[in-house]
Amino acid sequence: MSAKKTAQGIEVRKVPFEFPPDFQPHWHPDDPALSQLINGTSILLPYMEPFIIDSIRQASKLITDPELQKEAKAWIGQESQHFMQHRRFNEVLIAKGYPQLREREKEIEHEYEDLRKRPLKYQIAYTAGFETLALATAHAMIADRAHLLRGADPAVASLWLWHLVEEIEHKNLAFDVYQHVYGDYWYRVYGMFAALLHLFQMVRGSYMVLLKADGLWGKWKTHWAIKKFTFRFFTSAMPGILRHALPWHHPSHVADPAWMREWVALFDKGEKGLAQLDTSKLQQSPAGMLPA
């Protein structure tokens, strides 16, 4: 194992994603609604992820296991890279004609300022709940990558695939911190569903702003596209989410997908093409998607 990795395999990676001057906000040309739904998720992350980072940082003061503290530090490093990369992407998006997002960012920021007033136990349960959704989403989207991202902008698809890979890689951390510090099963389940509901509301508010700016909100094709995606997503991800609510479940019980393990192996070899994967070859392994 690389010296950069923790015992559980977490590594803080700085991947050079670049978005060209002619970047299009509808980066999935065949599905503008999907583009904006995922863009709406990105808008949330520079505010939600600092909140969960601060929650784990506070909880670290209560952790008595030195190895868990090391894992928490690496997890914070990965999540910090995530929100910084998405902030860069969001600035590109806003500059392409969405100044309305500035007001939406303020709303999200205030939302998480309010959540910081909640007890630490709630914040950690929320964090573990988000990581539950992230893990289930990562498995669902990697498995469905050919359908969701074929023909999409390489930088955007590569950004999200990197993010999803790392959500799987650090899947145990928030759960382990909650169990170590609190261990209250029913409160963990409450926190999980509270977080899921809140996150869906936050994302919906953001993609509504984007689609209204496009003049697409309210059109039947847009709503139909969102309903199709939502149904497909829940069909794929919800079993994994519900599995996390079982008393005997631990995230380590969920095997890492082969595609994710191959991505990590390529990164370990120093492969730079992971930042610009060929989205016409999404059915292939990461090695088969490297740019020519």
Summarised one tens digit per residue, pLDDT across range 59-76 is 999 999 999 999 999 999
Cα–Cα distance for residue pair 104/94, rounded to 1 Å:
11
pLDDT tens digits, 195-252: 999 999 999 999 999 999 999 999 999 999 999 999 998 899 999 899 999 999 999 9
Q: Is residue 253 exposed (0-12), middle (13-18) or buried (19+ Cβ within 10 Å)? A: exposed
3, pLDDT greater than 90: no
pLDDT band (50, 70, 90) for residue 89:
very high
The whole-model pTM stands at 0.96
Q: What is the DSSP string of 50-89?
A: HHHHHHHHHHHTT---HHHHHHHHHHHHHHHHHHHHHHHH
Question: Mean pLDDT over all residues of the chain?
Answer: 95
194, pLDDT greater than 60: yes
Read off the pLDDT of each residue in 7-11 and give the average, rounded to a whole number: 95
Cα–Cα distance for residue pair 116/110, rounded to 1 Å:
10
- Judge contact between 207 and 39, C-beta under 8 A: yes
Which residue, chain included where needed, has tokens 């669902």? 140
- Judge contact between 74 and 187, C-beta under 8 A: no
Cα–Cα distance for residue pair 101/201, rounded to 1 Å:
16
Read off the pLDDT of each residue in 267-276 and give the average, rounded to a whole number: 96
2, pLDDT greater than 80: no
3-state helix, strand, coil in the chain (%, to 5): 70, 0, 30
* HEC string for 13-56: CCCCCCCCCCCCCCCCCCCHHHHHHHHHHHHHHHHHHHHHHHHH
pLDDT tens digits, 116-157: 999 999 999 999 999 999 999 999 999 999 989 999 999 999
271, pLDDT greater than 70: yes
1, pLDDT greater than 80: no
The percent of residues above 90 in pLDDT, for the chain, comes to 93
Read off the pLDDT of each residue in 23-34 and give the average, rounded to a whole number: 93
pLDDT at 222: 95
- Judge contact between 132 and 244, C-beta under 8 A: yes
Domains of the chain: 32-289 (1.10.620)
29, pLDDT greater than 90: no
Radius of gyration of the chain from its Cα atoms, rounded to whole angstroms: 18
